Structure 1
Amino acid sequence: MAGALVALSIAPNAIAPHTVTAHADPEPSTKELKSQATKLADQLEQLTEQYNGLKVKLQQSQRAAKVATDNAKRQEKALQGIREKVGSLAATSYMQGGSDPTVSFVASQDPQAVLDQAATLNFFATRDSAKVQGLMQAMQAAQRARKSAEERAKQVSQLRGQLDSQRKKVGQLYEKVRGKLVKKDPSQLGKLPVVGTGKAAQALRFAMTKIGRPYVWGAAGPTTFDCSGLTMWAYKQVGINLPHYTGSQWNAGTHISEGQLQPGDLVFFHSDLHHMGMYVGDGKMLHAPHTGDVVKIAPMAGRPFAGGVRVA
């Protein structure tokens, strides 16, 4: 958490507009845009990893809160029997107009308030009530642990939300700069970092190393590929086995819309799904087109998009 807080204190400066805003005159060069995009991609990777770390911490805090809550419930249940036994004593004390410290201690919904009173503690010390004290203190300890765990979970959740906001801002800036770069020089898209830490992004990184390799029908690497062979080979490098068939890969994950696509997602075309590729970003995909061509990045626009599939 401390590391993430430091990151948050640094991140706003790291993504200040002056670092990515192009000069009105002259326009930034291809080299300058590529440098900006690379730096933003690196920041995005760092924020994403910190976000993932906080996700783990949140799960741990939530589990700790559940364990503490269950423990408090068990202690409360153990005390319930004692409360029932002193019920008659409480009634008698009330009828007599007095308040027995034992009854107050055991029956109180806020036992800490009673335990904090020195007179009550002294009373228990002289009345051999160690068992009752032990149960009450155990329950209090469990309740304090529960509150502490819940507070940690709340803090981590808030921090994760702030970090996610920073991550999205950097991602938007990266997309903006990348768009300018690709508009100026489309060939640069394949040279930019693949943003993302999941297996889909990792698979895309492997696939990008095959740009320029020839299309060969039925081939699945490592030097030649057809469309489904390229995606099958790329995902195999990250431990995911896909069948060498577009129709089967269509059913290998969760169907998503074009607007939900992220780098590494599978994209399919035509009603019979006879062609596919991997989404790169900025409306473009990496694919092995057809005989006589090579693995390359191309626009998705103008193709009959059938849908996307998120494998991982």
Structure 2
Amino acid sequence: MASHRKPKQRSLTAGTAWTAAAIALAGAATTALSGTGHAETRLTPAQVRAKVDQYQREAEEANERYNGAKVKADRARESFDDLRDEAARRTARLNASRNALGAYATAQYRSGTISPTLQLALSSSPGQYLRRASLADHAGSRQAAAVAGLARQSRELRQVRGEAQGRLDQLRGAQAALARHRGAARKKLAAAEALLDQLTGEQRRRYEAQGAHGADTGLGTAPYAPVSGRAARAVSYAYGALGKPYVWGATGPRGYDCSGLTQAAWRAAGVALPRTTYTQINAGRRVSRTELAPGDLVFFYSGVSHVGLYIGGGRMIHAPRPGAPVRVAPIDQMPFSGATRPA
């Protein structure tokens, strides 16, 4: 009986099979449509641009966090290398001290089991006894000092190695942060590129021609306000960078990100700025928007994630984003968050 029921349970008629397949396909299609309905909805060009600007801004925020993590990683690596070299030098000195102490102990062993004092007492020359006794005391004192020095060197070496391990842990943490921020930026840029692919060829060309927020190239233009001194050198450098590509994490001279450009411009003027936007805003005297002068650093967004170099006339030179080269742009194209005048 069981042998007759088993085939019956496993078999389906052709009509039943087609019906089941149709139901399954319908269900899958419904699920796919409900799950990807948002992705299938085509955005207007204006919506695409707004979303792309958002993704690119978030990518730039991740880029600045990457720059900050890189500074920490570089410092930790340099400190670790110095401590590792110091540990190697201390190890060599410790080994030399151990070898010297071992040689002294070997010499004592080879002299026999009679104590040095007794050996001196049995000396046939009483006139040399006191002199040799004094030398033995001195040798004993040197041996005790050598043992104490060996212990001190061992403690110091352990301390240096502990500090080196701490710097190594910091380095690994900074490297993990580098990878995390780099991955976040790449994801945002990929999302932006996917949205741009929704545009027609003509819409894409118009978007690329406008660049970020309608900026112009500014090629061949002159500063909008008189400038002199270090600020003049910084502004001149920025003008020399016009047209160069935005390069993620770069500080020139072939390409720049936003904070890399301002750092390089002021470096050319003899002023060392820190690497990131959120540290550059504190590298000088804060100035209001009405006080802006050429050479000032102008910052944007609530997270201080973008910076440009003010050139006067309400304009700046900045590195906008990937795909948009260094250019002149109005400072009112983005939410203004503050300004600093490097000293």
Using structure 2 for the length normalisation, give the TM-score: 0.42
